[in-house]
Amino acid sequence: MTAPQRPENEHRGVELLRGRWAGTGSGHFPTIDDFEYSEEIVFAPTPKPFLTYRSRTRGLPDGRPLHMESGYLRPVPGNKLELLITQPTGFVEIHRGSVDAEGTLAFTLLTLAASPDSKPVTDVRRVVRVHEDTLTYDIWMAHDQTPLTHHLHAELQRVDD
């Protein structure tokens, strides 16, 4: 007798990330000055078994708009998740990963597509951790002549709507 299958819309990673998160982060990269930012991330439910994703950042302390991206988090076969992201800077990312027992989602980049006028980003890695009501993430980026390098770290708290 086999164990009953979990419905797609009850995937552990989807449930872990669902909601609105707010907090701060810091960024660095060899070609830019270090910076601090505030961020809001929303993983919102839909009638389908996936979440919409939206991230907005603002510089600290002045509040100037910095970065935004949007997309979807969706369960795929093999108890995995895909994170599909579009950025107005001309990039589309598709990542795949799974949730470990500690609530870490280590994504592997499947596709990075760029418009002809975008910056020369050649690789992106994302790791997201959820512990209780805290979400942290780290992002690595390769750009032009710079190899894959740690770029962003943030810690956000779940915010009740």
The CATH architecture one would assign to domain 8-159 is: Beta Barrel (2.40)
What residues does each domain of the chain span?
A: 8-159
Rounded to two decimals, the pTM is 0.90
pLDDT digit string, tens, across residues 64-113: 999 999 999 999 998 899 999 999 999 999 999 999 989 999 999 999 99
Q: Give me 99's structure tokens.
A: 């949730």
pLDDT digit string, tens, across residues 129-150: 999 999 999 999 999 889 999 9
CA distance 36 to 49: 34
35 close to 15: Cβ distance less than 8 angstroms: no
